[in-house]
Amino acid sequence: MLNKAVLACFLAMTALGCVDDNGETDANLRQALEEAGVEPLDPGNVLPMNDPKVVLGQTLFFDRALSGNEDISCATCHHPGFGSSDGLSLPVGVGGDGLGPGRELGEGRHFIPRNSPEIFNRGATAWTTMFWDNRVSGGVGNFYSPAGPELPWQLESVLAVQAMFPVTSAEEMRGSPGESEIAGLKTLPEVWGALTARLLYYDEYERLLDAAYPGTPIQDYRFFHMANAIAAFEVAAFTKKDTPFDAYVEGDDNALNSEQKRGAALFFGEANCSSCHNGPLLTDQQTHVLATPQLGPGKGEVKPLDIGRALETGADADMYAFRTPPLRNVELTSPYMHSGAYTTLREAIQHHLNPEATVMDYDVAQLSTSERSEPNR
């Protein structure tokens, strides 16, 4: 299934009837790829699945003990069975029931404000940002995050920094005050410390930690050890670059068929998709305003709106701006956009062609019955 990968986006454009039969030559297409900065993907440090750090990370990734109420895990919203996401427009966090598109809200709960991103190839060296609003960014020794100076310096990658935060979110994993001792904690270090203490209560975690970090005294374990391990597992499990597109970028002219090449020529040419979807990850990692339909409970003090990057910067220019998503394995990661507003690639592409019209004509009927209960337009 993964062998189709990013080609689905190109084929979707072809299906819109925008592409004629006079396809670009391989030479012209390769020149367009070069101009867009598309080169073979450097996957970064991909450890084997039996590496002790990866084994620890895998156990943590699927363990509900990382949540305040012990009712949700990382895998709930980033499941291998649902393209490393959850198949929902907006995720169902603490208090929910079930997995994937059938997961239901708990009584009195609300959806998490933004679509759960896929986590393919997140160990690639090209990654410098995380989250829809880029609130985590930078590189080793120079990370920026909502934690500010409280962020541990021992974090090994921008992906590991990202892993520090879902456990602190009341909607995602921590829970609301009064629901558990951890849910009632007020600061990020308090939450990280309490979760570490909880995990160390289990002999199995002490054994796994000792194997992953030999020679580290038990009293020296901190949550950054967990975050580094979770990131190591995500990289080991979800690095996927065995696609026809990868083979073409690496020099195999026969890896794409003529229809796919025509779609790619449009994508990297006249349609100008590559002005944002460029580089080896097919994202510029910048935030842009696309007038995507607003769905869900909203975020921050401006609820029920979600103003995107502006919540972090306060800048008018960042109002309603969200990061360009990567397109690798895109056919597996529906729904699309920061709000999960579109359930097919065709609809997502059509929105780009005429945002004003698609917003005005947006129909919530494409959402599941439970998701329709919180439309915000």
- Distances 146 to 71, 164, 169, 283 between C-alpha atoms, Å: 25, 10, 12, 23
Q: What is the pLDDT of residues 275-302, one digit of tens each?
A: 999 999 999 999 999 999 999 999 999 9
Paired tokens of 363: 């129909």
pLDDT the model gives residue 19:
45
Query: Of 173, 208, 238, which residue constitutes the final position of a domain?
Result: 238
pTM for the predicted model, two decimal places: 0.92
Residue 135 belongs to some domain of the structure: yes
Residue 205 belongs to some domain of the structure: yes
Residue 92 belongs to some domain of the structure: no
Residues 142 and 275 placed together within one structural domain of the fold: no
Question: Could you tell me how many residues make up the chain?
Answer: 377
Query: Of 214, 238, 262, which residue constitutes the final position of a domain?
Result: 238
Residues 181 and 138 placed together within one structural domain of the fold: yes
pLDDT the model gives residue 377:
43
- Identify the domain containing residue 143 by its residue range: 52-78+119-238
Residues 191 and 260 placed together within one structural domain of the fold: no
Return the percentage of the chain with pLDDT > 90, whole number. Answer: 86
Residue 104 belongs to some domain of the structure: no
Region of 354 on the Ramachandran plot (φ > 0 left; ψ -120 to 50 alpha; else beta):
beta
**Alpha helix (H) residue ranges in 243-300:** 244-249, 258-267
pLDDT the model gives residue 5:
45
Residue with tokens 């940002």: 129
Confidence of residue 367 (pLDDT cuts 50, 70, 90): confident
Residue 83 belongs to some domain of the structure: no
Query: Of 238, 271, 297, which residue constitutes the final position of a domain?
Result: 238
Question: What CATH number is associated with residue 315?
Answer: 1.10.760.10
Residue 190 belongs to some domain of the structure: yes
Residues designated as active site: 172
Number of domains in the chain: 2
Contact 298, 113 (CB under 8 A): yes
CA–CA distance, 145 with 138 (Å, rounded to integer): 9
pLDDT the model gives residue 252:
95
Instruction: At 271, give phi and psi (nearest 5°).
Output: -70, -20
Instruction: At 130, give phi and psi (nearest 5°).
Output: -145, 155
Residue 1 belongs to some domain of the structure: no
> Cα 345 vs. chain centroid, distance in angstroms?
17
Residues 253 and 219 placed together within one structural domain of the fold: no
Q: What is the pLDDT of residues 1-32, one digit of tens each?
A: 334 445 555 555 554 444 444 444 799 999 99
